[in-house]
Amino acid sequence: MIAQTWLVGFRCLLLLALVGSARSEGVQTCEEVRKLFQWRLLGAVKGLPDSPRAGPDLQVCISKKPTCCTRKMEERYQIAAHQDMQQFLQTSSSALKFLISRNAAAFQETLETLIKQAENYTSILFCNTYRNMALEAAASVQEFFTDVGLYLFGADVNPEEFVNRFFDSLFPLVYNHLINPGVTDSSLEYSECIRMARRDVSPFGNIPKRVMGQMGRSLLPSRTFLQALNLGIEVINTTDYLHFSKECSRALLKMQYCPHCQGLTLSKPCMGYCLNVMRGCLAHMAELNPHWHAYIRSLEELSDAMHGTYDVEHVLLNFHLLVNDAVIQAHLNGQKLLEQVNKICGRPIRTPTQSPRCSFDQSKEKHGMKTTTRNSEETLANRRKEFINSLRLYRSFYGGLADQLCANELAAADGLPCWNGEDIVKSYTQRVVGNGIKAQSGNPEVKVKGTDPVINQIIDKLKHVIQLLQGRSPKPDKWELLQLGSGGGMVEQVSGDCDDEDGCGGSGSGEVKRTLKITNWMPDDMNFSDVKQIHQTDTGSTLDTTGAGCAAATESMTFTLIGVVMLLPGIW
């Protein structure tokens, strides 16, 4: 008990000593002030007072006591206070800015890898299964995935147009090599006529529309997600270099450097005083808080909704399967298509040109196989989830920024002598206001007037991107399931609780089997040995059409797809 009493008494004496020494320090010498002024490179030491003197020309650091400051020093301190504030803001936002910018770059890099991988899958499909048309299809495949990348990263391209363009260019190849094959090729004019006829004769059934649906549902949310991340970086960059009002600048000078004029170089502002100054200076920035909160919530909602056919990874890595289905669909209806094309374009005038065979780079195939060995933790969806979990911690960043700066950087610790704007005291006695513009009406340290046009512009941009994010959250009724007509020779049967486009997990075991059945067609000269299978499991996908195999693992898939690929006459 005696020890505790002695400790309390000692602390009281120490506090009084600190207060007394701080107060007396301002009237003795300006040596420390001169050293710090020069150390901060605020100006030359020449002409600075050696000892306190009257300062009648000071504008902000006004005191009845003698001062170590001149008018020029005060102006330099004003600049330093502004620079300090910007540095504090940049330091406080650095972790948030790094989080968003790093993940924006990582998402873009991952999407680029997925696009290249999907392009490899499609190239391997043509090389191994439809070898005679592989080289001719290469340009169309490359153009399609180039357009996918351009659209994802913000270019003004139309997914419906580049999907149609791909299938338009595919039809002449399928027609010349599968439907009406020969050792020679048709003329360019005839191929162009076939290309133009594709949308009239619908050789691929509903598959182009299904591709459009899947691309629309997956590419647009990913594109919007990336655009929103870039806006987040823009918001932080803007607030890091925000212009402060004259009232704020004077208050910052008074809080940070006016103590120096009295020789109080080691003092820190009282917590309440610091909060009033910072909440006043950042009042307009605090108005961002509800919109920033909604921005992060909208990012989270969109990210959660991007799965199944809304997941760009799933859609891109399964595009080659739909291409294969489309080719088979056209071949099954070959006789009907032959008659329709002959009616529209006439009979082909053939030229003696041998179709080049595939010379697909095996290293490219190996690369395609290698890039599919990532485990499930590395999928785009999991990366988004980890990012959102980290970003969620910053939902109230702008609302609590003033408090954070005072607590972490500026204010004196509780119980220590502190600067109240005029002198060193035990505690700050003025009223402490809250955050935001409305709360500043009673701020004793900073007068806040009007609105900040820069902040208003940022708020408008956040509102706009929030609407985009919420508008891109997938809606189940936006895309209706497209059914095959009765005239087609292909029937798709799906077991589970999702449609034939989703590839999502069904009920029960979470596995969906999609079986492609060939009906009412089997050439007399084709043996059952000519039928190979595509088998996909949750550990990946193996496209096996050659016997030797062309592995192309499809990641993060929780279903099994069993399709029958028929090796058609004349394609080997």
Render pLDDT for 447-475 as a digit per residue (tens, 0 to 9).
998 889 999 999 999 999 999 998 865 54
Q: Cα–Cα distance between 155 and 135 in angstroms, integer?
A: 28
| pLDDT (tens digit per residue) in 106-116 | 999 999 999 99
Q: Cα–Cα distance between 350 and 176 in angstroms, integer?
A: 10
Residue type, 512: V
* Residue 385 pLDDT > 70: yes
* Residue 241 pLDDT > 50: yes
Within 8 A by CB and 6+ apart from 542, the residues are: 534, 535, 536, 549, 551, 552, 553
DSSP character at residue 179: I
Q: How many domains does the chain have?
A: 1
In a domain, 517, yes or no: no
Please report which confidence band the pLDDT of residue 191 belongs to, taking 50, 70 and 90 as the band edges.
confident
Cα angle 295, 297, 298; round to 5: 65
Cα–Cα separations (whole angstroms), residue 192 to 175, 327, 340 = 12, 18, 15
* Residue 572 pLDDT > 80: no
| pLDDT (tens digit per residue) in 293-316 | 999 999 999 998 888 778 899 999
CA 491 to chain centre: 39
H or E element, residue 515: strand 513-518
Tokens representing residue 451 in the block: 């609105």
Q: Cα–Cα distance between 420 and 264 in angstroms, integer?
A: 12
In a domain, 451, yes or no: no
In a domain, 400, yes or no: no
Of 454 and 5, which is predicted with more confidence? 454
Q: In terms of residue numbers, what domain contains 221?
A: 79-265+290-351+381-394
pLDDT of res. 358: 59
Of 474 and 396, which is predicted with more confidence? 396
Q: What is the mean pLDDT of residues 424-445?
A: 94
Question: What is the four-CA torsion angle of 195, 201, 202, 203, rounded to 10 degrees?
Answer: -70
pLDDT of res. 316: 95
In a domain, 114, yes or no: yes
pLDDT of res. 265: 86
H or E element, residue 52: none
Long-range contacts of 320-323 (CB under 8 A, 24+ apart): 320/118, 320/121, 320/122, 320/124, 320/125, 320/543, 320/552, 321/534, 321/561, 321/563, 322/207, 322/210, 322/211, 322/214, 323/122, 323/125, 323/170
Tokens representing residue 144 in the block: 């399609």
Report helix, strand or coil for 86: helix
Cα–Cα separations (whole angstroms), residue 259 to 60, 66, 216, 267 = 11, 12, 62, 7
Cα angle 510, 515, 519; round to 5: 160
pLDDT of res. 43: 61
In a domain, 90, yes or no: yes
Tokens representing residue 416 in the block: 């220590």
* Residue 17 pLDDT > 60: no
In a domain, 216, yes or no: yes
* Residue 394 pLDDT > 80: yes
Q: Which range has the worst mean pLDDT, 119-133, 428-442, 501-515?
A: 501-515
Report helix, strand or coil for 560: strand
Q: How many CB atoms lie within 10 A of CB 400?
A: 15
| pLDDT (tens digit per residue) in 477-498 | 333 322 223 233 333 332 233 3
In a domain, 178, yes or no: yes
In a domain, 454, yes or no: no
Please report which confidence band the pLDDT of residue 378 belongs to, taking 50, 70 and 90 as the band edges.
low
